[in-house]
Structure 1
Amino acid sequence: MKIVVIGGTGMIGSKLVTRLGEQGHDMVAAAPNTGVNTLTGDGLADALKGASVVIDVSNSPSFEDEAVMRFFETSTRNLLAAEAAAGVAHHVALSVVGTERLPESGYFRAKVAQEQLIEKSSVPYSIVHATQFFEFVGGIADAATVDGTVRMAPVLFQPIAGDDVAQAVARVAIEAPLDGHVEIAGPDRFRMDEFFREALAARHDPRAVVTDPHARYFGAGLSEGTLVPAGDAILAETRYRDWPGRTVAGR
């Protein structure tokens, strides 16, 4: 089966290309650096010829409100139109748990817009909502740093390893379209402030983590369950304490 991965040279995309390729599928890693640009449409029609499944794990190069909305709306419209023309049978998109609960954030508003376009399209689809990746611990801490301290709300936090995200998305991609959503999360729930206090210490990061109920997450306020699955979810196997990257030094 031919499977095209949009964002196929990125962190999750490259894992998908490798994993599904090892299962015998004909894989195409589609990205601007391989000649496929979903914003301009360049190379898209050729890449999708004969494809049965398209997996979109691409991300905006800018998180500025207008830029990120433009990216997800333009890219998704172009991609869905090309898929319909090529007869693609399954569109799979990776999104974020809690997206609809974070309207204050321009990034998450853009992800909601992306999902709405997918849901209204004629192409059968599956949307995978994942919690925050282990690999993003440093970036989340950087975004929460104010005057040298990391300010974190004491809300629930259930991160997941990138490898486990790729495994779940790959499984969804080769099954029948859900025409709906599925949520995936790590096996353990933490308090966000406590998690980052321990995680940064393991990385030998000298920043102090301050518990702040009013701390914002990429511009949005958080409630107790904003960042974790609201109901049933697929739970991954890798625990943060066992993840090889947890002790990476520095920021």
Structure 2
Amino acid sequence: MKIAVIGGTGLIGSQVVKMLTTAGHEAVPQAQSTGVDLLTGEGLPQALTGVDVVVNLTNSPTFDDASLAFFQKTMDHLLTAAEQADVGHVVILSIVGVDEVPDLDYYRAKVLQENVLKAGPVPYSIVRATQFFEFMDAVLTWTADEETVRLPATPVQPIASADVARAVADVAVGSPLRGIHSVAGADVFPLDELGRLTLAARGDRRTVTTDDTAGMFAAVPGDALLAKDDAHIAPTRYRDWISAGDRL
């Protein structure tokens, strides 16, 4: 099976390409560095020639309302090119609970991306994942100074990027779901507790202060970001991952 992985040089995409290749598929990484630009459509016809499945793992460069236009344009270009190339399956990566957080521009943009795909002409699958382990370092910089990190107590269920990549790769080689497959980590943490655990493991002496107005995740209501009953629970646990020096 020939599979184009757009965004195939990034955190998830590079792992998806490796997994698919190991499984015997022809997985081709595509990105701006290979001449493919979803915002303009440049390079798409060539990238999708002879392709059975296209996996779109590109992401908006911003989390603000500009992300709405990004996902609209990129999905329009992708679906037009996929239909013309007779691609049989389009897969995207989204977020668990994305449709339950309307106060975040980026989450509304991801809902838009899902809806454009659902209404499009090509059979599709959506993989929704919870927050990646690897993003915690970035989260700790959003509302921090030299001594303190402010985080809300929002419940999260973090997952290793490798487990997300496995879910995407498995869905890509299956029949189109015309629906959603959700995957989440094994453990639930309040975000402030997760911050304390991360700082301790990093040997970072800063203090985490609970502030339910701090940062992007302050806008998340209740347990919106937690897995529902139909989600696949991935095996890697955050405490094991970070104790192993992020090597799991």
Structure 1 length as normaliser, TM-score?
A: 0.92
The residue aligned with 2:113 is 114
Same amino acid, percent of matched pairs: 48
The RMSD of aligned alpha carbons is 1.7
- Match of 2:4? 4
8 Å CA contact 2:101–2:221 kept in 1: the answer is no
Distance 1:144 1:228 in 2: 23
Q: Distance in 2 between matches of 1:117 and 1:144?
A: 33
User: Are 2:97 and 1:98 equivalent residues in the alignment?
Assistant: yes
CA contact (8 A) 1:216 1:222 kept: no
Q: Number of residue pairs matched?
A: 246
* Cα deviation 1:83-137 (Å, max 9, x = unaligned): 1111111111001112112222111111111111001011111101100101000
- The 5 A counterparts of 1:173-188 are 173-188=172-187
Contact persistence 1:144–1:217 (CA under 8 A): no
Give the partner amino acid of 1:230.
K
Q: Which runs of 5+ in 2 are unaligned?
A: none
Aligned 8 A contact 1:240 1:246 in 2: no
CA distance in 2 between partners of 1:97 and 1:206 (Å): 32
- Whether the aligned pair in 1 keeps the contact of 2:146 and 2:206 (CA below 8 Å) is no
Range that drifts further, 203-212 or 160-169? 203-212
Correspondence list, 1:45-56, <5 A: 45-56=45-56
Moved more, 232-241 or 220-229: 220-229
Please give the alpha-carbon distance, in whole angstroms, between the structure 1 residues aligned to 2:11 and 2:71. Answer: 18
Deviating beyond 6 angstroms after TM superposition, the runs of 4 or more aligned structure 1 residues are none
Q: Distance in 1 between matches of 2:243 and 2:93?
A: 22
Q: Which residue of the partner structure matches residue 169 of structure 2?
A: 170
The alignment status of 1:149 with 2:148, answered yes or no, reads yes
2:225 to 224, 227, 232: 227
Change (3 A) 1:127 1:221: same
**Number of the residue aligned with 1:32:** 32
| Aligned position for 2:134 | 135
